[in-house]
C-alpha cells in the first residue's frame, strides 16, 4: 500500500485557483498538505514494531500547523501540544538523543533511571513518557475524528463529528473547564467539505480515499503505543 496522492498538485507560494469538476476552489497558500503528516506516521513504523520518535514528532508538528491554520480559537490547544512536542525535541537534540530514538527505547531508559514520575507529576515534570502519553491520547481522538470525517455523509457537521470523537476519547482526561472550552471551539470548525479541501489532498472524494489508505498506519502507531504503555502500567501516568 502506498501513501500518495494521485492528483499530484502541490501547494504553492502564490495564490492559485484550480478547477475541479466544474467547481473553482482556492488552494492553500501555505503549502500544507495532510499527505505529509500521514506519511510521517507511516514512517514511524519499523519492521521490529517499534515507533520512531522523529517521524512521530514530525507528524505532530504537521498537525499543529494544520490546527493553527484553523484560527486562533484553537491556540490554547496547540500551545499545550507544542509544549509536549518541545519536551521531546529537546531530548532528541540532547546528549541522550539515542535513548529517545524510539518510544520503546525511551520507556526503557526513563523507567530504568527513575525519570518517569509514576506517582505524581511534580516528580518529573519533563518526563518523556508523560509527554508522549498526552499526545498518544490525542492521537486516539485524531484517529476517531478522521475516521468519522471519512465515513460521514456530505452534509454532516464537522463540529458534531469532532465533539463525538472528543467525548469518546480525550474528554475523559480533561476537567470540565477544558471540555467546555474545547466543545465551544469545535463550533467554529468549517463544513465537512471545506475541512476536507483544507487538507490539500484534492477534492473531498480524493481526500476521503487518501484517508482510507493512510489511517491504518496512524491506528497501528496508536496500537503499538497503547500496548507498550499497558505493558508497563503507564496508561494513567499523572
Smaller CB separation from ligand 1PX, 90 or 134: 134
**Residue 162 sits in the site that holds ligand 1PX (CB under 6 A):** yes
Residues 6+ apart with CB under 8 A from 219: 143
Give min distance, CB of 123 to ligand 1PX, in A. Answer: 13
Residues 182-221 that bind ligand 1PX (CB under 6 A): 182, 189, 199
Binding window for ligand 1PX (CB under 6 A); candidates: 7-15, 88-96, 166-174, 215-223: 166-174
**Cβ burial, residue 2 (10 Å; 0-12/13-18/19+):** exposed
Count of C-beta atoms within a 10 Å radius of residue 19: 8
**Residue 138 sits in the site that holds ligand 1PX (CB under 6 A):** yes
Count of C-beta atoms within a 10 Å radius of residue 186: 20
Looking at 16, 31, 76, 94, which residue binds ligand 1PX (CB under 6 A)?
A: 76
Q: Is residue 44 within 8 Å of 56, Cβ to Cβ?
A: yes
Residues 22-41 that bind ligand 1PX (CB under 6 A): 34
Phi, psi of 26 (to 5 degrees): -75, 135
Q: Is residue 15 within 8 Å of 26, Cβ to Cβ?
A: yes
Looking at 25, 43, 67, 208, which residue binds ligand 1PX (CB under 6 A)?
A: 67
Smaller CB separation from ligand 1PX, 112 or 194: 194
Smaller CB separation from ligand 1PX, 85 or 107: 85
User: All 3 cell numbers of residue 154?
Assistant: 456530505
DSSP characters for 186-208?
A: HTTPPPHHHHHHHTTSSSHHHHH
Q: Is residue 179 within 8 Å of 76, Cβ to Cβ?
A: no
Residues 106-135 that bind ligand 1PX (CB under 6 A): 134
**Residue 66 sits in the site that holds ligand 1PX (CB under 6 A):** yes
CA angle, residues 30, 31, 32, in degrees to nearest 5 = 90
**Residue 166 sits in the site that holds ligand 1PX (CB under 6 A):** yes
Smaller CB separation from ligand 1PX, 66 or 109: 66
Interface residues toward ligand 1PX, by CB under 6 A = 34, 63, 66-67, 74, 76-77, 80-81, 134, 137-138, 141, 162, 166, 170, 173-174, 178, 182, 189, 199
Amino acid at each position: 500500500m502506498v501513501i500518495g496522492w494521485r492528483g499530484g498538485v502541490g501547494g504553492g507560494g502564490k495564490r492559485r485557483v484550480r478547477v475541479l469538476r466544474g467547481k473553482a476552489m482556492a488552494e492553500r497558500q501555505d503549502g500544507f498538505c495532510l499527505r505529509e503528516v500521514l506519511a510521517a506516521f507511516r514512517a514511524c513504523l519499523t519492521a521490529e514494531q517499534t515507533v520512531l520518535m522523529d517521524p512521530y514528532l514530525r507528524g505532530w508538528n504537521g498537525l499543529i500547523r494544520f490546527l493553527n491554520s484553523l484560527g486562533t480559537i484553537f491556540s490554547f490547544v496547540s500551545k499545550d501540544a507544542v509544549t509536549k512536542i518541545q519536551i521531546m525535541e529537546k531530548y532528541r537534540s540532547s546528549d541522550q538523543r539515542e535513548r529517545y530514538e524510539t518510544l520503546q527505547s525511551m520507556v526503557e531508559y526513563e523507567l530504568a533511571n527513575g525519570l518517569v514520575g509514576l506517582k505524581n507529576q511534580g516528580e518529573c515534570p519533563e518526563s518523556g513518557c508523560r509527554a508522549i502519553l498526552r499526545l498518544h491520547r490525542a492521537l486516539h481522538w485524531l484517529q476517531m475524528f478522521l475516521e468519522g470525517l471519512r465515513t460521514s455523509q456530505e452534509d454532516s457537521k464537522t463540529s458534531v463529528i469532532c465533539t463525538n470523537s472528543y467525548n469518546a476519547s480525550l474528554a475523559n482526561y480533561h476537567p470540565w473547564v477544558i471540555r467546555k472550552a474545547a466543545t465551544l471551539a469545535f463550533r467554529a470548525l468549517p463544513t465537512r467539505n471545506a475541512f476536507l479541501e483544507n487538507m490539500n489532498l484534492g477534492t473531498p472524494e480524493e481526500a476521503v480515499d487518501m484517508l482510507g489508505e493512510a489511517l491504518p498506519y496512524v491506528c497501528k502507531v496508536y496500537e503499538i503505543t497503547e500496548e507498550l504503555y499497558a505493558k508497563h502500567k503507564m496508561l494513567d501516568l499523572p
